[in-house]
Amino acid sequence: MKILVLNGSPKQKSDTFRLTDAFLKGLNRDNRHEVTVINVIDRKIAPCRGCFGCWQKSEGHCLIEDDQNEILDRYRDSDIIIWSFPLYCYGMPSHLKAVLDRTIPLVKMKMVQLPDGTVRHEPLADFSKIHTVVISGCGFPDWEGNFDGLKVMCKNGFCNLTMACVPETPMLNVPQAAIVADPLLERFRKAGEEYEASLALSPETIAGLERPMISAEEYLRNVNGI
């Protein structure tokens, strides 16, 4: 399988990407798959101009001459796409959102109504074969609602979606927290193995990935230095 990883963290030492890396170690434990990691912050990706020139040509490419067209080519040629990023203002970081915004060359202007009544642009690429994994971490403890907006966007925008939304991820780069962080990384590695076998994760597995490492009260005490 061809696996495309879009790393949306702006930092070289990324909390969230540690989770993604563990997941990849399980998913590609036998090195049987072709894995491409793109660090989006290092690429030149301009915002979408809304010119719709891509729809006039319908060639699957954007008219802006930057690094996005390489990503579009890899995108529609992939079997699995992993979006890995920290939560920014309850959504994607802006540089990664620009990548998502500029995937519109992969659909047509024509709209179609699906059997469930949902209206979508007719696809130019075969999205049905692409499986999507979203791994997002945030610095809050497990307060309800942090990932709600992101979940709606991803549910509406991606096919064959699996999501893991993880609180307290700054602990992954705190040496003193290894006693609780290392077991989480191991759960992500095992989740990668499960995903390779079935291209899905059980609700129990996802619950284990999203479970806070420590209580909200203890986490806040540590963050606030109390």
Taking only the tens place, the pLDDT of each residue in 6-15 is: 999 998 889 9
Domain coverage including residue 114: 2-223
Q: 120 by DSSP, 3-state: which?
A: strand
pLDDT digits (tens, 9 = 90+) for 135-155: 999 999 987 899 999 999 999
Q: How far apart are CA 158 and CA 45, in angstroms?
A: 20
User: What is the number of other CB atoms lying within 10 angstroms of the CB of residue 214?
Assistant: 17
Please tell me the distance from the alpha carbon of residue 207 to that of residue 25, in angstroms, as a whole number: 20
Coil, strand, or helix at residue 39? strand
In single-letter form, the type of residue at position 30 comes to D
Q: Where are the alpha helices (DSSP H) in 14-147?
A: 15-27, 53-57, 68-76, 94-101
pLDDT at 58 over 90: no
**Nearest-angstrom CA–CA distance, 91 and 18:** 19
* d(C-alpha 78, C-alpha 22), whole Å: 20
pLDDT at position 226 over 70 = no
Whole-structure pTM value: 0.95
pLDDT given for residue 91 in this prediction: 95
Residues 73-97, mean pLDDT to the nearest whole number? 96
Kindly state the average pLDDT of the residues 82-92: 96
pLDDT tens-digit readout, 32-41: 999 999 999 9
From the number of C-beta atoms within 10 Å of its C-beta (0-12, 13-18, 19+), residue 7 rates as buried
In this predicted structure, the answer to whether residue 158 has a pLDDT above a threshold of 70 is yes
Share of the chain above pLDDT 90, in %: 86
What is the mean predicted confidence (pLDDT) over 78-84? 98
Mean pLDDT (whole number) for 104-132: 91
Burial (CB count within 10 angstroms: exposed 0-12, middle 13-18, buried 19+), residue 180: middle
Number of separate domains in the chain: 1
| CATH number of the domain residue 154 falls in | 3.40.50.360
Structure confidence by residue, pLDDT tens digits, 205-225? 999 999 999 999 999 998 887
